[in-house]
Structure 1
Amino acid sequence: MLRNAIGISFAFIGVLVGAGFASGQEAMRYFVAFGTQGFWGAILSSALMLIGGGSVLPLGSYFQAEEHMEVLGRISGKVLSWVLDIATITTLFSIGFVMFAGAGSNLNQQFGLPVWVGAVIMLALVLVVGMMDVDKVTSAIGLLTPFLLLFVIVGCTWTLVNNAPDWAALNEAAKSVDTTLPSWWVSSLNYTGLNFICVTSMAIVIGGNYLDTRAAGIGGLLGGLAYLVMLLLLSAALLVTVETVGGDDMPTLTLITSINPVMGLIMALIIFGMIFATALGMFYALGKRLARGRTDKFRVIFIAACLIGFALSFAGFQNLVAVVYPILGYMGVLLIVVVSAAWLRGAQKLRQEGTRRRRALELTRIKLDPRLRFTKKNRDELAKITTTSNVPDETFTEAIEEEVGQELAKDEEADFDPEDPAGEVVYIAYSDPKDPSEAAPIEVEEFEAPDEGADSAGEEKR
């Protein structure tokens, strides 16, 4: 479970800390603009995101959702779900085309390339990777995250350690940073809403790719904690250097480059990668939603949305962040309330279903692992869990077996040598609880498998 939770957290952070965060534009406008008071805003925003991430990922897992309306349509009334759907679709598209603008600004600032070059490269990458399945999309997003974490933590820590800030002077300098928000706490709420409405659609898809609702919830909490650390570090480092980085499209890139030009080059590539992760997540989730009920049209819709977004991206990165983001933030606050309330109302069902699914994963491991004996009692128990789950039987069985199969494929080389059965330890698992949701841990007994010359009846495992 922990392995899955960590993977979910990386994918969640990858969607959450996209271009605006990695570039530093969001931190500048939402937190640095309010000086040292912005630190309280960063803490509040991170705490709310912990709640949001810990709610939306388990809901995606519970419903095994492939797009956001499979969750929003079930946790809210008809009118409200329609409003949230429109808001989410608008957000996905808006953030998506802002990412194209960010890609152009990134390569322009670091390499002096025309803005359209970066936008074209980003368009091509999103179109190619967007044709892949959700597993590959999730992996593409998650793999970028550790590099961003490393550079933000190292670069910001170095900046803070090697500066002796005059906070009064920095508070005065921070007033020069443009923002359309009236106070630090309104800014914090708006930023949380913005991030939540941005990540909800893809987070639902990520959660829906895992059966264990507890792992999904822990992944959301771990992601929220990592986000808290990075947001505080980034806000503090940018405030300390606000006089030199305040006017740039990519203030984080300026900060890292000032430490070391080679690090700046690498950071430019990382930021470009995070822009890619966000753009991919936005347009992929948008395509899934618009293709609902007509999955054969997904590629056409996905490509069309990307091309339209590309055309709109030339309004400029800073301008788009300043105008589009605050509007989306207020819509996101409503979404946080709805999702969190739904999670609280259904907490007991989520726990019960999570217990059933973890038990089903254990039993399916016995069924698929050649070292274990899958008894009749195990089979009956698994059948009962399958029919009790909120997921359709065929879908449930397919998802369980796919997840366990992937785990066994990773473990098999280290734990099992099919060419050398002699002396192999075989386990018999048995348990027959009346209520699968309250099943005790599987008990095992072991014996030494017979030599090849032994009675064949003793060799049968299944």
Structure 2
Amino acid sequence: MWKRSIAVAASFVGIVVGAGFASGMEALQYFVAYGTQGFWGVVLAGVTMLIAATAFVTFGSYFRADEHNQVFYKVASKPAAFIMDWSAVACMFSVGFVMFAGAGSNLRQSFDWPIWIGATLMLALMLIIGRFDVNRVSNVIAWATPVLVIFVLIGAIYSFTQLSVDWSQVDEYARSEVNRADGTPYWFLGALNHTGLNALCGVSMAIVMAGDEFDTKSSRIGGVIGGAIYVALLALLVAALLIQVESVNGHDMPLLTVLENVHPTLGFVMTWVIFLMVFNTCLGMFYALAKRLTRKNPDKFYRTYAIACIVGFGLSFAGFQPLVSRLYPVLGYLGLFVMAVMAVVYFRHRSDLKEEGERRAQAVEAAKDDEGSGDVEDLAGESNLDEEEFKDAVEEEADSEA
């Protein structure tokens, strides 16, 4: 159970931290820009993301969802589900093409390469990796997360131990000189908007990945762990950027600047870590988008995916920093609506979700016993899943644990 929970947590964090987190731009505009008040924002963001993560992955597993509408239209009214659906679609496409811009800005800051080189390299990777199935995609995303954690820790430890800081000075500078995201004049709005943005970015892929998990308890625990990892990383990142705010302000990739200040070699490696995280976010967005658009015609998945990537590549040349500042806040408030609906339904039906988790665990244990077929039949009849789907999943789960 714990192995699965940690895998779910790592995959979820890999999606929601994404390129904006790894670059440091989101943290700069949504938290550092408020000075030391940004730390209160981190606390608020952590609590709300933990709730959202738990709800998303639990419902994904509960419904065994292949795409987000299998959850949205079962937990919300049709008008609310329609808004949630198209908010997620808009987010997936918008953040996806912002990631192409991020790839170009990342390599330009490090190597002074033209924007189009990084964006083209990203497009080539997207078209290749998009042919893999969701399990392989999940593995790619989960693998990158520990690398990001290590580099955030390095930047934070360096900032804490090697630099002296006058908190009143950095607080004043951050408040007066760092640009805030549009439409977020107060620290709590910045924190909530940032959480809404990341939740909206992650909800579709989180539901798809959790849909492969039959064990709802493992998924739920994975959501809690993922939310906790998220807030810890965010706190370290915000602290490191605030301490070095005068040197990182104005850069497209503030965290890259932090690592370059530690050592040029680390800066070089961090360039490719950021590129990998940009890729992870871009992949998650366009993969889930194509799943959504082709749910009635799955044979057209890759064609739709490839077209969306190419169109996104073309739109990306508006620039990374302006897109983050102007487009992300709109998506963030839409994300808050999705979070609110999912959280309310989750808390309202916690007992049902828990009972189904216990039912599935009992069925798997019964399936391991040669005399337990009758118990599996009874449990299948009580499940929210179709009886045949339930029994097939139980058999597969039992075989994997044998």
User: Percent same amino acid at aligned positions?
Assistant: 45
Deviation at 1:336, TM superposition (A): 0.9
Deviation, structure 1 residue 41: 0.5
What are the within-5 Å matches in structure 2 for residues 242-261 of structure 1?
242-261=245-264
Corresponding residue of 1:90:
90
Cα separation, 2, equivalents of 1:193 and 1:172: 27
> Residue deviations 1:52-84, cap 9 Å, x none?
111111000000001100000111111111111
The answer for the alignment partner of 1:166 in structure 2 is 166
CA shift in 2, pair 1:113/1:402, >3 Å: farther
TM-score by length of 2: 0.97
Task: Give deviations 1:23-74, integer Å, cap 9, x for gaps.
Answer: 0000000000010001100111111001111111100000000110000011
How far apart, in 2, do the equivalents of 1:375 and 1:339 lie? Answer: 39
Match for residue 204 of structure 2 among 201, 205, 214: 201
The yes-or-no answer on 1:177 pairing with 2:172 is no
**Deviations, residues 142-179 of structure 1 (Å, cap 9, x unaligned):** 01101111111122122112122111111121121111
Identify the residue that residue 390 of structure 2 maps to in structure 1.
396
How much has 1:394 moved relative to structure 2?
2.9
User: Where does the alignment leave 5 or more consecutive residues of structure 1 unmatched?
Assistant: 367-373, 409-462
1:81-230 maps to which residues of 2 (within 5 A)?
Answer: 81-174=81-174, 175-179=176-180, 180=182, 181-230=184-233
Unaligned runs of 5+ residues in structure 2 are none
TM-score (norm 1): 0.84
Query: How far apart are 1:404 and its partner, in Å?
Result: 4.2
Hey, what's the Cα distance between the residues in 2 that align with 1:256 and 1:107? 15
State the alpha-carbon separation in 2 of the partners of residues 402 and 25 from structure 1. 43
Instruction: Assess if the C-alpha contact under 8 Å between 2:14 and 2:141 holds in 1.
Output: yes
- Whichever residue aligns with residue 375 of structure 1, its letter is D
How many residues end up aligned between the 2 structures?
A: 399
| Separation in 2, partners of 1:101, 1:3 | 35
Aligned to 1:442: none
Task: Specify the alignment match of 2:379 in structure 1.
Answer: 385
CA distance in 1, matches of 2:401, 2:115: 44
Q: Give the conservation status (yes or no) of the 8 Å contact 2:376–2:391.
A: no
> 1 CA distance for matches of 2:259 and 2:396?
42
Give the distance between the partners of 1:402 and 1:177, measured in 2 at CA: 53
Alignment correspondent of 2:310: 307
Query: Which letter does structure 2 place at the counterpart of 1:117?
Result: I
2:295 to 292, 297, 305: 292
Equivalent position to 1:375, from 361, 370, 385: 370
Greater share of helix: 2
Letter in 1 for 2:355: Q
Matches of 1:404 and 1:143, distance apart in 2: 27
Matched residue SS, 1:35 = helix
Secondary structure of the 1:17 match is helix
Larger-Rg structure: 1
2:282 counterpart letter in structure 1:
A
Are 2:92 and 2:288, in contact at CA under 8 Å, matched by a contact in 1?
yes
* Conservation of the 8 A alpha-carbon contact between 2:67 and 2:204: yes
The amino acid of 1:390's aligned partner reads N
Q: What letter is aligned with 2:392?
A: E
Alpha-carbon distance in structure 2 between the residues aligned to 1:147 and 1:248:
22
CA-to-aligned-CA distance 1:312-332 (integer Å, 9 cap, x gap): 000000011001100101111
Task: Label 1:4 to 1:107 Cα distance change in 2 as closer, same or farther (>3 A).
Answer: same
